[in-house]
Amino acid sequence: MSAQIIDGKQIALEVRAGVAEKVAALKAKGITPCLAVILVGENPASVSYVTGKRKALAEAGMTDRSEILPENTTEEELLALIDKLNKDSSVHGILVQLPLPKHIDEDKVIMAISPEKDVDGFHPVNVGKMVIGKKAFLPCTPHGIIVLLKRMGIETSGKHAVVIGRSNIVGKPVTLLLARREINCTVTMCHTGTKNMAEIVKQADIIVAASGHPHTVTADMVKEGAVVIDVGVNRIPDATKKSGFRLIGDTDFEAIKEKASFITPVPGGVGPMTIAMLMYNTLEAAENAADVK
């Protein structure tokens, strides 16, 4: 048996096409969704992410109010810019690209973004709403994972999902979303303090690997027919590539795909969904502001 590869690129394109359609309908009513992505400094990975987000905005027909700030921007200057964007009714979403330079307090910056414009879903108000099942902006990567499972028609109700990783960006929120009534998984979260991780993962019908370390999940940890969602993005040296490295996930993809029923590749699995769901959230922010659906 060889796993069906979940094509995150294709599903992300479908989500983005749906968003672009709704953007066109909103524009016909005189409302153009607008996102401000703020980048401080020139971290190469962050620059690449921001470039991808800006390209997606253009494709969706949204207004791009991105700001690229120098590395030495002070915390006060960044907070003043966020305050200005919060007050600007033509801006519907604000996203500050993380990580920030060491001299800026990330928590303070996340707290400064208006919850109504927090399209990353990181503000404690949106996190709290997500926890109790109220309508809120969902964090993009976890929401993207749920969309992948739904679009592939993967049965989730009553299944045992094991999430590896407890980050605020992926591990914790995806655990909560998988346990929601409409997904209906029984969820176990593993992390660096988990003693018998291999035994726990072996029981999983659905594995979400978000540990940030290559080969966290090996084939002997995966039961036949399990669904494997790999969130990891790890650069490893590869002399055959022009860049000198290649990207791999947190799982041993080649070995596991012979046992799993479905698996996401890296790259081209979960990654493209993150930007697609950001576009979805920005559209939703514009709809909320205009009070239309």
Nearest 10 degrees: Cα torsion 184, 248, 8, 132: 30
Residue 239's pLDDT is 87
> Which residues lie across from 167 on neighbouring strands?
none
2 marked as binding residue? no
Query: Residue 159 is inside which H or E element, if any?
Result: none
Encoding tokens for residue 28? 């016909």
Burial code of 83-107, b = ≥16 C-beta within 10 A, e = fewer?
eebeeeeebbbbbbbeebbeebeee
Spatial separation of the C-alpha atoms in residues 132 and 291, rounded to whole Å: 23
Spatial separation of the C-alpha atoms in residues 69 and 41, rounded to whole Å: 6
Q: How many helices (H) and strands (E) does the chain have?
A: 10, 12
Residue 245's pLDDT is 85
Give yes or no on whether 30-114 and 140-272 have one common fold: yes
- Which residue is associated with the tokens 């669904």? 227
165 marked as binding residue? yes
Residues in Cβ contact with 104 at an 8 Å cutoff, skipping those fewer than 6 apart: 40, 73, 74, 75, 78
Residue type, 291: D
Q: How far is CA 127 from CA 79, 83, 85, 173, 270, in A?
A: 21, 21, 21, 8, 21
Q: What is the DSSP letter of 217?
A: B
Listed as ranges, residues in the chain with pLDDT below 70 are 1, 292-293
- Which residue is associated with the tokens 């479908």? 14
Spatial separation of the C-alpha atoms in residues 250 and 243, rounded to whole Å: 21
Residue 43's pLDDT is 86
Q: What are the residue ranges spanned by the domains of the chain?
A: 30-114, 140-272
State the fold for domain 30-114.
Rossmann fold (3.40.50)
Spatial separation of the C-alpha atoms in residues 212 and 125, rounded to whole Å: 27
Residue 293's pLDDT is 57
Q: What is the pTM of this model?
A: 0.95
Residue 292's pLDDT is 66
Known catalytic residues?
Answer: 53, 97, 120
Instruction: Tell me yes or no: is domain 140-272 CATH 3.40.50.2000.
Output: no
